[in-house]
Structure 1
Amino acid sequence: MSTDPAAASSTVPPPSLAHLPVGVFAVAMGVGGTAVAWYRLEEAFGLALPVNDILAGVGLAVAAVAVVAYAAKVVRHPGAARAEWQHPVKSAFVGTLPVSLMVLAAAFAPIAEGVSAALWWPGAVLQLLATVLIMRTWIADARVQAVHVHPAWFIPIVGNLVAPLAGVAHAPAEISWYFFGVGALFWLGLLPIVLGRLFLEGTMPWRLAPTLAILAAPPAVASLAWVRLGGSWTDPVAMMLLGVVIFQLALLASQATYLRKVPFAVSAWAYTFPLAAAASALLAAYESGATAFAAWVGVAAVAVASLLVLGLGWRTAVAVVRGELLTAEG
């Protein structure tokens, strides 16, 4: 019995907007976060570079394209969108939408306050909704098992810690404290669950391997938010969080050999925002005079995040041209 190659290839589903992953908003998160890191670098060393402005503009353009594309998916393929939002693994990436808006709000804060506010308010509202709905899925969906847990579960939680970065300037203080409290409490509550999955449930699928970098994001963003809310880089809370950031960066670096072999997927953008957030925290601490050592680690983190944004940006553009972002995951 012979097999017709043409007939066999016809069984492969063609690219479709239904397969556009909601995690595409992580691209805007990474670019926006790197913009903030460059702003911190410029402030820490007294530089006058346009990198923050350029990256903030690029991040906003990427977010706009992603919003239009994903909105088209919701309209044309509502069933696929709902399935993604309720999926035990994929639902956490829904948080990339509100987080990307609030990260860009922080990037635009020193450039255009009006743009920053226009991004922050819808981002904050969506963050509130996303946190409630995603956590409801984790609690109420009987399909959710320990093996479904992965570090990207931190995304909808960390979004609450991102909110105060620009929210302090745009909303009453109690709103920022609300977000900070939710983010800090549930980060610490979720941490042993995620570590238990990583330690005891075997290695993650290759598409999720880059999410290991996300472990660096909560302590980095929490330290930035803590200082924005009135804390100091020299107080015990901030210094403790910076220590955790440095440890997480070292742990991530120890896995670089393995992670370099992982094939490209949109999830690779998970490297960028945590590195940028870590750089922002370390450079802000250095600028305040809290620590000199942080400067070297912060500069290295900015450099790596910037190179990743360039490399992943090129690879993502190639994937768009080839239609790879619109193909079903194997």
Structure 2
Amino acid sequence: MKPSPMSLRAPSREFPKGWYCVADSKEVKVEKLLPVSWLGRDYVVFRDTQGLAKVADAYCPHLGAHLASHDGCIKEGRVICPFHHWGFDTSTGKCTDIPYAKVIPPVSLTFYEVREVNEQIVIWYHPEGLAPDREPYQSDLLKEREWVLFDSRSWTSSAPFCDILENLFDTAHILMLHHAHETPKLGNIEELDYGLKVDYIMDPDKSDQPMKSLTCHISGITLLVQHYEFVGTEALFVFSFTPIDHEYFVQRTHLYLLNNVSPEVMENIGKEFVDRFVMEVDQDMEVLNFKKHLTKPRLCDGDGPILRFRRYSNQFLEKEGV
């Protein structure tokens, strides 16, 4: 079965405002242009001479050549257009050199607001071009403790974008679709400057995994960090959700395990965790990729706090409505 067009399944045709991952930190090197396509646009991602991540419009403001096409490159701190070899400073974006001209016009590359958090390079998007009104969540745990990147996965999805994180609050589907031992219980839900902090109520004796706690940090509705505490170790899941266009988005997921157990134990824990996670995401996608976003769902008392999440998420969407 092929999914219906998104115009028939979701009320909004605009991307939500927020921070979007355009590349993993490890993908972006000094002196190298990385071409990417997200949010219906083309970008180049690179680092300036100080190693700071930059994201620019992929097309030269001179005559529209793609900066990463042919032999476009970074040389001596400048992005060199492959068409006429105009040079743009990697730190400011300003044109500083035109080999065949005596007068350099006041022209610059279009730069975007960039942050590098949780080993990801993210850019700010607002449908009206407004400046950021919040910062993305940065996990201090990831910076301050020793972690091992155990596995990375990605899915291309045709689910309504506004529904993907709502899935965390639909606790009944964990029991019915994923066949968990019991329905998860959400504890404190707190709106903070970056978005939402959500604590789950865990009982290691009743869970099919010896989990002591689970805390979710949601940046807007585009980024997610989950911190798991198990009996004896910990894990971090770092998620990003970035639209390719109005029909599809990519979910990227990185699993970090705390480096406090032997390699053998880590391998066993990680494999079990990843296998279960992949199975559940695959099950979700088999439903979410075809579902329609209902602005007025008919909920029952056994459903999780879906409307609580929708009241929060509406602030990031073009069209409001629960």
What TM-score do the two structures reach when normalised by structure 2?
Answer: 0.27
Higher strand fraction: Structure 1 or Structure 2? 2
Higher helix fraction: Structure 1 or Structure 2? 1
Q: Which has the higher contact order (CA 8 A, sep 6+)?
A: 1
Bigger radius of gyration among the two: 2
What TM-score do the two structures reach when normalised by structure 1?
Answer: 0.26
